[in-house]
Amino acid sequence: MRILVVNNPLSGLRDGAIFNFVRNFLEAGDEVVLRNIDATTPIADYVKDAEDFELVVASGGDGTISAACYALRYSNIPILPFPAGTGNLLVTNLSLPDEPIALAALARHPYLVDFDMAEVSYLVDGVRQTYGFTVAAGAGFDANIMKAAANLKPTFGPGAYVLAAISRANPTYSRFQLELDDRVVTSEGIAVLLLNFAKIGPGLSITHGNNARDGLLEVTVLKPHNAVELLPALFAAFLDRDGGFPGRADAIETHLSATVRITADPPLLTQHDGETTGAVTPLDAQILPAAARLVVPAQTYAWLNP
């Protein structure tokens, strides 16, 4: 078997787990090509020969994995997300293991599912830039958390996001205009999230009924004025498993759309899968149906294909 590993060595805690994966994967006759990436070269340059491999392993955080998926969109090349970042929400949503030996076994006998991903664009220093995301993009409170957490992650790991949220407990409250497929919606709040996958932790979802294969984004407004007012909705999410708990109804407003343009007054910082570029709203996004062919574990495959 011939596989390509695209590895971001600066992601997460930099524990070298990807090398344990390679060591446990290799059998007689196998070939593994490992390419370390950095921020100076587009990831597309590292995967331009991906069709010569049976599998691509994208090792890093959500930003690295999403960039690989976007570079290989609609190629039908299988991609195994390898959790080497701090949060790795895509791995959480797919219920993938985080242990290298288990991932090596899954790479040998993969279950494949085509998932939606999305494309987001905004102005960066006056130039329109376009990026792909697999989990979520957004504007406002979430983007400020991502920015504040960036320098804390090497020291505090996942706890960096909690510390960043505490330090941004009074985010900017903004008025939103959401231009959706067939309508315009106005709202107010501290953030707008564009969700392809909704899970932000084991058993903890921002919304319920989320489907990353329906060709639609969940456009979700966080309506509280500050982080404290958001806490009851988060508590409800911990208690909720079927979407019936009422505690989040007043805090979260959700619309479904394949395209969206977010305008905010005042403008808000933006992010895509945890990556911030310094760009602010307006933000444009569209769904890319069934664009990413991802490896999933057997239980996820069975759940999606009853």
Judge if 95 and 12 occupy the same domain. yes
pLDDT of residue 12: 73
- Which two structure tokens, joined as six digits, stand for 109? 């006998």
More confident of the two residues 107 and 15: 107
Please give the average per-residue pLDDT across 72-93, as a whole number.
Answer: 94
> SS3 for the chain, per residue?
CEEEEEECCCCCCCCCHHHHHHHHHCCCCCEEEEEECCCCCCHHHHCCCHHHCCEEEEEECHHHHHHHHHHCCCCCCCEEEEECCCCCHHHHHHCCCCCHHHHHHHHHCCEEEEEEEEEEEEEECCEEEEEEECCEEEEEHHHHHHHHHCCCHHHHCCHHHHHHHHHCCCCCCEEEEEECCCCEEEEEECEEEEECCCEEECCEECCCCCCCCCCCEEEEEECCCCHHHHHHHHHHHHHCCCCCCHHHCCCEEEEEECEEEEEEECCCEEEECCECCCCECCEEEEEEEEEEEEEECHHHHHHHCC
Number of domains in the chain: 2
Its pTM surpasses 0.85: yes
pLDDT of residue 231: 56
Judge if 93 and 71 occupy the same domain. yes
Judge if 171 and 217 occupy the same domain. yes
Judge if 76 and 149 occupy the same domain. no
Number of Cβ atoms within 10 Å of the Cβ of 152: 17
From 5-9, 86-90, 186-190, the region with the lowest mean pLDDT: 86-90
**Which residues span the domain enclosing 28?**
2-116+291-304
CATH number of residue 264's parent domain: 2.60.200.40
Judge if 126 and 254 occupy the same domain. yes
Judge if 75 and 31 occupy the same domain. yes
Please give the average per-residue pLDDT across 75-85, as a whole number.
Answer: 96
CATH number of residue 89's parent domain: 3.40.50.10330
pLDDT, tens digit, for every residue of 126-172? 899 999 999 999 999 989 888 887 777 766 677 776 777 777 778 89
More confident of the two residues 180 and 11: 180
Judge if 191 and 225 occupy the same domain. yes
Is residue 202 left, alpha or beta, with left meaning phi > 0 and alpha meaning psi from -120 to 50? beta
pLDDT of residue 229: 62
Helix axes 100-108, 17-25, angle to 10 degrees: 40
Average pLDDT score, the chain: 89
Judge if 285 and 185 occupy the same domain. yes
Checking if the pLDDT of 121 tops 60, the result is yes
pLDDT, tens digit, for every residue of 219-269? 999 988 776 666 555 555 544 545 444 445 578 899 999 999 999 999 999
pLDDT of residue 245: 47
Judge if 123 and 134 occupy the same domain. yes
Judge if 148 and 243 occupy the same domain. yes
pLDDT of residue 236: 53
pLDDT of residue 187: 96
Judge if 170 and 297 occupy the same domain. no
Judge if 258 and 300 occupy the same domain. no
CA 29 to chain centre: 34
